[in-house]
């Protein structure tokens, strides 16, 4: 018996091109989004309580509408029916609670967000510290420890995080809005 060659030859790609699809958004939409982000950021910096309450109410309306759409989608379309129904019911409950309690809901939503951020920061810090132990350098280790401390501070004193978070969001909205305005102007030209 003669040995047979069972190998399958596969083509080798020597040059690969990864392309990005350019979103064909009019320049004025990007510009307008930037202006709205700047205005929302300024309101968060100068009237954080009222603006946060308003933004949480808008979030509640979106959750309520999204919950209705998910429940209807679960009843009409058979794919992932239970998951759609569960997420729709949870969104409905969250939207109703937020809209029924407009004064308390920002504290609840922001507290949950602070807890989520705190846990995420601790995990990120632990990963950085582990990376430092595997040869990432002492700088990465110090950064990991500081990140873990920040996460613990957020979890142990969530009220401070709740009070600071609107200003942080306001700052990032202003920076992102300025960037969007610049991109909109450059796209027009």
Q: Give the tens place of pLDDT for each residue, 42-85.
A: 999 999 989 988 989 999 999 999 999 999 998 988 888 899 89
% of residues, the chain, pLDDT over 70: 88
Predicted model pTM? 0.65
Instruction: Tell me which DSSP letter residue 47 carries.
Output: S
What is the residue extent of each domain of the chain? 28-185
Residue 63 confidence (pLDDT): 93
Instruction: Tell me which DSSP letter residue 2 carries.
Output: P
Whole-angstrom Cα distance, residue 54 to residue 166? 12
Residue 16 confidence (pLDDT): 58
Tell which residue, 181, 37, 59, has the closest CA to residue 110.
Answer: 59
- Residue 188's pLDDT band (cuts 50, 70, 90): confident
């Amino acid at each position: 018996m003669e040995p047979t060659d069972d190998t399958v030859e596969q083509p080798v790609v020597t040059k690969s091109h990864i392309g990005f699809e350019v979103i064909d958004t009019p320049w004025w939409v990007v510009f307008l989004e930037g202006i709205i982000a700047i205005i929302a950021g300024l309101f968060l910096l100068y009237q954080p309580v009222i603006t946060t309450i308003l933004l949480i109410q808008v979030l509640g309306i979106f959750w309520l509408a999204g919950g209705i759409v998910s429940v209807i989608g679960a009843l009409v379309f058979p794919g992932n029916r239970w998951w759609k129904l569960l997420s729709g019911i949870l969104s409905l409950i969250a939207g109703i609670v937020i809209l029924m309690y407009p004064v308390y809901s920002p504290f609840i939503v922001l507290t949950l967000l602070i807890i989520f951020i705190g846990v995420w920061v601790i995990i990120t810090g632990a990963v950085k510290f582990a990376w430092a132990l595997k040869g990432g350098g002492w700088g990465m280790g110090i950064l990991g420890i500081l990140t873990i401390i920040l996460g613990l501070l957020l979890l142990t004193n969530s009220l401070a995080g709740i009070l600071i978070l609107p200003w942080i969001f306001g700052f990032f909205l202003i920076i992102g809005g300025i960037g969007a305005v610049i991109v909109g102007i450059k796209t027009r030209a």
